[in-house]
């Protein structure tokens, strides 16, 4: 299984046409484990407040297998961990 299960901040990326730091506008965290990648992206909208979007994809695939949004980073992380729970249980049983 790929990934070490640790949360890490995505490297800063800049658009070729802009010097604006995208990572500062959209702070992002990534969790890799059990052959999946889970990204949590923060959006701050004046009208709506802070929303934490999460997307889970198989490593190396564009397919989205689980996604949603929460009002806190902890709740978004908890949702991602809920997705991973059956994989964790299967490893413990093996």
Count structural domains, the chain.
Answer: 1
Q: What is the DSSP code string of 13-56?
A: -B-TT--SBHHHHS-EEEEEETTEEEEEEEEEETTTEEEEEEEE
37 and 3 Cβ atoms separated by less than 8 Å: yes
pLDDT in tens, 3-43: 555 655 554 443 444 434 444 556 689 999 999 999 999 98
The answer as to whether 1 is a domain residue is no
Give the per-residue pLDDT at 62.
95
Give me the domain span that covers residue 80.
7-93
The answer as to whether 80 is a domain residue is yes
Q: What is the mean pLDDT of the chain?
A: 80
The answer as to whether 2 is a domain residue is no
């Amino acid at each position: 299984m790929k990934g070490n299960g640790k949360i890490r901040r995505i490297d800063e990326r800049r658009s070729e046409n802009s010097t604006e730091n995208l990572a500062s506008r959209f702070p992002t965290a990534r969790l890799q484990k059990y052959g999946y990648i889970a990204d949590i992206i923060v959006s701050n909208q004046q009208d709506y407040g802070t929303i934490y979007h999460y997307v889970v994809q198989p490593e190396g695939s564009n397919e989205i297998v689980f996604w949603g949004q929460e009002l806190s980073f902890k709740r978004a992380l908890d949702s991602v961990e809920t997705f991973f729970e059956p994989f964790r249980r299967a490893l413990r049983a093996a």
